[in-house]
Chain A
Amino acid sequence: DQQVKQNSPSLSVQEGRISILNCDYTNSMFDYFLWYKKYPAEGPTFLISISSIKDKNEDGRFTVFLNKSAKHLSLHIVPSQPGDSAVYFCAARDDYKLSFGAGTTVTVRA
């Protein structure tokens, strides 16, 4: 049973515009949510996170929003840059264990 879902496998956005990535989850026990970024032939690298007691966390161009009642989170990247082209994974933590979504491939067009 997949507890974290990213329903959009891909996203194409023009450079300078906003990228919005979405993620849904089912497990109410998740206490922390994370976004990882992955380039080809590399492992996932941590991008930004949010505690379940907050609804927003911002770090530079990256903002994560959490809607607990809807069991939904999103990642906003503004403005999008060519170096942002990568696969983005949503992850959720229950105790120490991370559950990941299937990833969204973002392509930033010049």
Chain B
Amino acid sequence: EAGVTQFPSHSVIEKGQTVTLRCDPISGHDNLYWYRRVMGKEIKFLLHFVKESKQDESGMPNNRFLAERTGGTYSTLKVQPAELEDSGVYFCASSQGVYEGQFFGPGTRLTVL
């Protein structure tokens, strides 16, 4: 069974540009989460989807971040326009039930110059 996959693994962009990160959860997992780790600090929750619906986006930093989950399958996280402080590693995780274990993807390392 394939795990959570994320694309790209690395992205380097200029300040002001747009970047879109993609996450493919484990097949059959209705719950999808985005997290971010900045500068070796703690991993912080960004948002939670159940199928295609956003259940909780309380961790989203600001309105430059937009997450979508089309048809309840893969999810995208768009940053527009990117700022220097958006640099970090963005992790996606999925789980079958909301109280079941979350499986993490390898992350996308975003560098904004």
Which chain A positions have C-beta within 8 A of B33?
98
Tell me the nearest residue of chain B to A39, going by C-beta: B106
Q: B48 to chain A: closest CB distance in Å?
A: 6
Which chain B positions have C-beta within 8 A of A20?
none
A96 to B107, CA, bound (A): 20
A41 to B107, CA, bound (A): 8
Are the CB atoms of A102 and B41 closer together than 8 Å?
Answer: yes
Are the CB atoms of B43 and A100 closer together than 8 Å?
Answer: yes
Are the CB atoms of A46 and B101 closer together than 8 Å?
Answer: yes
Are the CB atoms of A100 and B91 closer together than 8 Å?
Answer: no
Which chain A positions have C-beta within 8 A of B99?
96
Are the CB atoms of A43 and B4 closer together than 8 Å?
Answer: yes
Interface residues of B in 94-110 (CB under 8 A from A): 98-99, 101-107
Which of A44, A91, A99, A102 is the one whose CB lies under 8 Å from B91? A44
Which chain A positions have C-beta within 8 A of B103?
46
Are the CB atoms of A43 and B107 closer together than 8 Å?
Answer: yes
Query: With A43-B4, A96-B48, A96-B98 known to touch, is A89 a contact of B43 (CB < 8 Å)?
Result: yes
A27 to B9, CA, bound (A): 33
Are the CB atoms of A101 and B48 closer together than 8 Å?
Answer: no
Which chain B positions have C-beta within 8 A of A99?
42, 45
A41 to B4, CA, bound (A): 14
Which chain A positions have C-beta within 8 A of B40?
102-103
| B interface residues, Cβ below 8 angstroms from A | 4, 9, 31, 33, 35, 40-45, 48, 55-56, 91, 93, 98-99, 101-107
Between-chain CB contacts (< 8 Å), 11 pairs:
A43-B93, A44-B104, A46-B102, A91-B43, A96-B31, A96-B55, A98-B43, A98-B102, A99-B42, A100-B35, A101-B42
